[in-house]
Amino acid sequence: MRRTGVGSLGVALLVLLTLGMAADAAAQGPAVGGWATYAWRAAANVDLPVLVKQPQTSGDATWSVDREPSQPQMYVTYSVVRGDAKSYVLQIVTRPTPDGTPLSVTQVTVDRASGRALKSVIRDRKGVIPTPESGLRPLRQASVKGTSEDVAVPAGNFTAIKAPHRNGTVWVSDQVPALGIVKGVFPDGQLELVKGGATGAQDLLRS
C-alpha cells in the first residue's frame, strides 16, 4: 500500500508556517478600541485632615481639625485609541472617580514588534507636553509565565495567570481588553479591574 504524506520537508514548512503565524499574532498587540478601568490604591498611608465634632454640655458643639491616616485611591483607564500595522497608542487617564473628570491624560506610542515606547505626551493645564511614560504595557496570557488562579475584583471573577512582573505580581487574562491585567500588586500600590470594554475607547487628545 502506498502512503501519502507531507514528508520531512513538508513537516518543516508547516512548523515554520505555524511559528510565523504565532509570531505575527504576538506582534499584533492589543486591538484598537479596547479599554479597561482600574482602581488604584497606594500602598502608603497619607495623613488627611478631617473635621471632628465635639459635643459640649453647655449646648453648641465645637469643631476641630484632626488628621486621619488614609490610603489614597484614584481610578486609571487604559485604552488603545489608535494604531496601525507597526505601532499603537496606549492612552492612560487618571480620574478621582471611575467616570469623573480626567485629572491627566497620557498617550504612549508603542512599537508593536518590540513593545518599546516611541513617544509619550501628557495633557495638563499648559497643554500637551512631552513626558516620561510609566512603562506598564498590555499583557497577554501567552506572554507571561506563571500559574492559573481564580481572582475576584470589582469587575467580577476571572481565571487568570498569576505571574511576577515589574517587582510585583500580576494576574493576566485575555478576557480583559486593552491592558490584559485583572489585578496587579506592586511595592507602591495595588491595581484592580473595575470595568472594561472591547470597543468605545475615546481619544481624549484628539477630541
Q: State the pLDDT confidence band at 188, using cuts at 50, 70 and 90.
A: confident
Percent of the chain with pLDDT over 70: 67
Q: Are 156 and 36 in contact (CB under 8 A)?
A: no
Note the pLDDT of residue 10: 38
Q: Identify the pLDDT of residue 166.
A: 83
Mean pLDDT of 187-206: 94
For position 26, what pLDDT does the model report? 41
How far is residue 182 from each of residues 30, 41, 114, 195, measured CA to CA in Å? Answer: 15, 15, 23, 10
Is the per-residue pLDDT at 101 higher than 80?
A: yes
pLDDT digits (tens, 9 = 90+) for 2-33: 333 334 333 333 232 333 333 333 445 799 99
pLDDT at position 27, please? 45
**pLDDT in the model for residue 77:** 95
Q: How large a percentage of the chain has pLDDT more than 90?
A: 50
Tens of pLDDT along 109-120?
Answer: 999 998 889 999
Q: What is the pLDDT of residues 49-68, one digit of tens each?
A: 445 556 667 666 666 655 54
- Domains in the chain (CATH in brackets) are 30-45+66-197 (2.50.20)
Residue 91 reports pLDDT greater than 60: yes
Strands (E), the chain: 35-42, 46-56, 59-70, 73-83, 87-95, 104-111, 117-124, 127-130, 147-153, 156-165, 168-172, 181-186, 189-197
Residue 145 is predicted with a pLDDT of 95
Strands 117-124 and 104-111: antiparallel
Place 99 in a pLDDT band, splitting at 50, 70 and 90: very high
Q: Each residue of 64-80: pLDDT tens digit?
A: 655 545 446 899 999 99
